[in-house]
Amino acid sequence: MVAKLVALYFLGAVIVYILGKLSKKLAAWLTFLIAAYGAYLFYGINKAGGFSETYRLIGNFGFSFGIGPLSYFFGMMALGLGAVFVLAITSWDDNTPTLMFLMLTVLGAMSLITLSRDFVSFFLAWEIMTWSSFATLFLGRGIERRVAVTRYLIWSVIGAYFLLLAFGMIYAKTGTTLFTVAVERMAAVPFWWLFTVVIFLVIGFGVKAAVMPLHTWAPYAYPESPDIFTPIFSGLLSKMGVYGFFLAIFFFSLKFADYGVAKLSGVNVIGYIIAWFGAITAFGGALLAVKQKRAKKLLAYSSVSQLGYVIFGLALGTSLGVTGAIYHALSHAVFKGLLFLAVAGVIMRAGTDDLDELGGLIFKMPLTFIFALIGILALAGIPPTIGFPSKWLLYEAGIERHFVFITAVIFAASTAAFLYSYRFLFSIFLGQLHDEHRDVKEVPLTFIISYLVLGGLGVYWGLFPGKVLPLIENIALKFNLPALKTYALSSITTSLGTFNATTVGTLFGISFLIGLIIFFLTGKRNQVDQLNNFFAGEAVDQIEMHYSTNFYYFLERELKPIYRTSAETVYKWFSDFTVWFGDGVRKLFAGNAQVYLFYFATFLALLILIYWGF
């Protein structure tokens, strides 16, 4: 099974690359077909009741693969939504064979990550995912390439090395690289050891999930990646970080209970602290998103923020928290993919994602607007979209354990999300159309199909949480979490009460309709020119009136002290120090043979002293 997937994605990638040299269009369709077939295969694996495969490798290492509810959920999300994103590439202008190659490689790597059942194959797939997504950064528009490539690769390998250390420690202790066997054999390890492993894993996966303060690569790498790849990058790759996070928490952190680690309302202190990191990420990411001037960068910070919610939920480790987190991970993949895809469409047609240079595209790209609106509604957690139940569950998870402050921070993050959501929507689609965008056309058909699927799923899963919850419940049961109280197709009952997503969504829809009807039925409307509106009838020449520069100036002014505290200062200091130190060390190579002879003599003398002295 795994061999089939590997062959499909990686050989497919090579074939697509070669075909792409001849005909890009054809290769793009083939890319889509491969991605879709891969998702279908993955679906088939689970339907067939799972599998387990082992391959012998060098030394003590072997590869082992299998599937469970968690792998299925994340794998299906990555491959299924991945195929939807890939569809848009068929009519994307800046497509290159290399990009298609890398996209399939990334998808293949994600399928392996989710199926992997041992550290070596997991790490292998993880690193393939890293370098293939890294390579796409060279195919972007090159606005901040320098920073993006450097930060992304360095952060990724630092994360990967923490993982490697943790895996190595587990391997050294248990003598196996298989997940399940390792966990079984870790019955009586010292506390500090387990603690180190968990922290290493949390840092390692935290980098991919861009948890503050490990996030500084994301706001550069996401915008810099090719527009068509960004939905996969931000929507799906980051979810692999979440997947790993889940494993780290549920394989290991829960064992903290056996060591008498203090608990706060049933959540161990370490989890509680990580939850705080998640909450701060949610809030800080949103605040930073507010002041961004480029759409992709705004969404990148928003991704950081949304992943913060997910980490918050996972770190709590309660049924509600985990359910909400996984739901929100799916939710983020859907709406952030949709939004990035919409931005890709805007950039393809209008040539820029600079919010100051866009505006008034609503009549030129109405469908893009409508689907971007759905994405924004989901992002803000407004029914009837998928963001509503997922965020609701997360809030409840905080409230249920009486974590007042942390929940307040999460709420505040949502408020900030409204601010940047509005800026995004307004600056691109509303207001005055710029002259150079008079001839902008709507995006091509395949984009619209992708929009439709994503928007449709976003609303469907928002109205009927009962379609998603069984999958999450399977995961919870597998990891020995108590199931949620009850849920039906449209409603969820938790310890805090019941809410009915369908009813809420329908009510929202109905009130929207009523408003629309009132708008159309009542009052006499006089269509006037936009400028006429702006100047109250004064006769003024055509001038640019679109207002988006310094959109939230008042906010930026008030929050200046907060914006000034940044983890980047520390990293800057650290990297400057390393460079300074490295340069100092380099001076050891003085370039003078006498100096080298001096080292030689000193070293030998030193050794003789040490060995004869004792």
Partner 1 sequence: MVSPILIIAVSLFMAFSVPIWGMLFGKKVEKFVPLVTFAINLYIAIVNIPIALQHPIVVITAGFKPPFGINLTIGPLGIFLATLIQFMGLLVAIYVLSYKVPEPSEKFYMLLILAVMGASGIVMTGDIFNLFVFLEITSIASYSLAASAKTGGSVEGAFKYIVLGSLGSTLVLLGIALLYAQLGTLNMADIARQIGKVDTTVLVAASLLFITGFAVEAEAFPMNGWVPDAYTGAPFPAVAIFAGAIAKAGIYGIARIFYTIIGAPSYWHLIMIIGVLTLLIGELSALLQKDFKRLLAYSSIGQMGLVLVAIGAGTLDTIAGGLFQAFNHAITKGLLFLTLGIVVAGVGSSNLQDLEGLGKKKPYLGLLFFIGILSLIGMPPFAGFWSKILVVFSIIKANYIVYAVLILVGAAIEVAYYVRVLRTLYSGSYRGPEFSTSFLTGLTVTVLALVIIVVGFYPKLVTHFVYPAAKELLGRGTYIQAVLGGKF
With contacts defined by CB under 8 A, name the span among 45-53, 180-188, 264-272, 584-592 that binds partner 1.
584-592
Instruction: Specify the residue, 260 or 582, whose C-beta has the smaller distance to partner 1.
Output: 582
Complete DSSP assignment for 557-568: HHTHHHHH--HH
Instruction: Specify the residue, 363 or 600, whose C-beta has the smaller distance to partner 1.
Output: 600
Under rule CB under 8 A, residue 520 binds partner 1:
no
Q: How far is CA 173 from the centre of its chain?
A: 32
Compute the least distance from the CB of residue 7 to partner 1, in Å: 13
Under rule CB under 8 A, residue 599 binds partner 1:
yes
Under rule CB under 8 A, residue 586 binds partner 1:
yes
Instruction: Specify the residue, 135 or 559, whose C-beta has the smaller distance to partner 1.
Output: 135
Alpha carbon dihedral 146, 147, 150, 152, in 10-degree steps, equals -130
Compute the least distance from the CB of residue 607 to partner 1, in Å: 5
CB-CB contact of 186 with 170 (8 Å): yes
Under rule CB under 8 A, residue 15 binds partner 1:
no
CB-CB contact of 342 with 368 (8 Å): yes
Segment 165-184, which members bind partner 1 (CB under 8 A)? 165, 167-169, 171-172
Instruction: Specify the residue, 49 or 591, whose C-beta has the smaller distance to partner 1.
Output: 591
Pairing of strands 497-500, 491-494: antiparallel
Compute the least distance from the CB of residue 138 to partner 1, in Å: 4
Instruction: Specify the residue, 438 or 586, whose C-beta has the smaller distance to partner 1.
Output: 586
Instruction: Specify the residue, 130 or 427, whose C-beta has the smaller distance to partner 1.
Output: 130
**Rounded (5°) CA angle 530-534-540:** 90
Instruction: Specify the residue, 97 or 284, whose C-beta has the smaller distance to partner 1.
Output: 97
Distance CA 113, CA 391 (A): 27
Kindly give, in sequence order, each residue whose CB lies less than 8 Å from that of residue 569, ignoring residues fewer than 6 positions away: none
Distance CA 308, CA 283 (A): 8
Q: What is the CA radius of gyration of the chain?
A: 26
Under rule CB under 8 A, residue 22 binds partner 1:
no
Under rule CB under 8 A, residue 603 binds partner 1:
yes
Under rule CB under 8 A, residue 604 binds partner 1:
yes
CB-CB contact of 282 with 411 (8 Å): no
CB-CB contact of 246 with 202 (8 Å): no
Distance CA 224, CA 217 (A): 11
Which amino acid belongs to residue 439?
A: D
Kindly give, in sequence order, each residue whose CB lies less than 8 Å from that of residue 503, ignoring residues fewer than 6 positions away: 490, 491
Compute the least distance from the CB of residue 151 to partner 1, in Å: 9
Per-residue contact flags (x/-) with partner 1 for residues 55 to 94, judged by CB under 8 A: --xxxx----------------------------------
> H helices of 430-491, where?
445-463, 469-478
Distance CA 119, CA 346 (A): 41
With contacts defined by CB under 8 A, name the span among 36-44, 52-60, 63-71, 468-476 that binds partner 1.
52-60
Under rule CB under 8 A, residue 573 binds partner 1:
no
Compute the least distance from the CB of residue 131 to partner 1, in Å: 5
Compute the least distance from the CB of residue 132 to partner 1, in Å: 10
**Residue appearing with tokens 């861009």:** 210
Compute the least distance from the CB of residue 127 to partner 1, in Å: 5
Preceding amide of 213 cis, omega within 30? yes
Instruction: Specify the residue, 150 or 352, whose C-beta has the smaller distance to partner 1.
Output: 150
Instruction: Specify the residue, 47 or 587, whose C-beta has the smaller distance to partner 1.
Output: 587
CB-CB contact of 454 with 381 (8 Å): no
Q: What 3-state class would DSSP assign to 491?
A: strand
Distances from the Cα of 198 to the Cαs of 152, 167, 245, 426, 430, in angstroms? Answer: 23, 10, 10, 43, 47
Nearest to 447 by CA among 32, 115, 135, 141: 32
CB-CB contact of 331 with 404 (8 Å): no
Distance CA 380, CA 374 (A): 10
DSSP 54: E
Rule CB under 8 A: choose which of 63, 73, 123, 551 binds partner 1: 123
Which amino acid belongs to residue 412?
A: A
Compute the least distance from the CB of residue 120 to partner 1, in Å: 7
Compute the least distance from the CB of residue 57 to partner 1, in Å: 7
Under rule CB under 8 A, residue 591 binds partner 1:
yes
Under rule CB under 8 A, residue 220 binds partner 1:
no
With contacts defined by CB under 8 A, name the span among 263-271, 389-397, 560-568, 591-599 that binds partner 1.
591-599
Per-residue contact flags (x/-) with partner 1 for residues 280 to 319, judged by CB under 8 A: ----------------------------------------
Sign of CA dihedral 206, 212, 216, 222: positive
Compute the least distance from the CB of residue 601 to partner 1, in Å: 9
**Residue appearing with tokens 């009519």:** 91
User: Helix crossing, 404-429 with 295-316: angle to 10°?
Assistant: 160
Per-residue contact flags (x/-) with partner 1 for residues 125 to 144, judged by CB under 8 A: --xx-xx---x--x---x--
Compute the least distance from the CB of residue 220 to partner 1, in Å: 13
Rule CB under 8 A: choose which of 158, 183, 430, 545 binds partner 1: 158
Under rule CB under 8 A, residue 154 binds partner 1:
yes
Burial of 238 (0-12, 13-18, 19+ CB in 10 A): buried
Rule CB under 8 A: choose which of 404, 518, 540, 597 binds partner 1: 597
Kindly give, in sequence order, each residue whose CB lies less than 8 Å from that of residue 96, ignoring residues fewer than 6 positions away: 20, 24, 139
Total number of residues that touch partner 1 (CB under 8 A): 54
Instruction: Specify the residue, 3 or 264, whose C-beta has the smaller distance to partner 1.
Output: 3
Under rule CB under 8 A, residue 3 binds partner 1:
no
Interface residues toward partner 1, by CB under 8 A:
57-60, 120, 123-124, 127-128, 130-131, 135, 138, 142, 145-146, 149-150, 153-154, 157-158, 161, 164-165, 167-169, 171-172, 578-579, 581-583, 585-586, 588-591, 593, 595-597, 599-600, 602-604, 607-608, 611-612
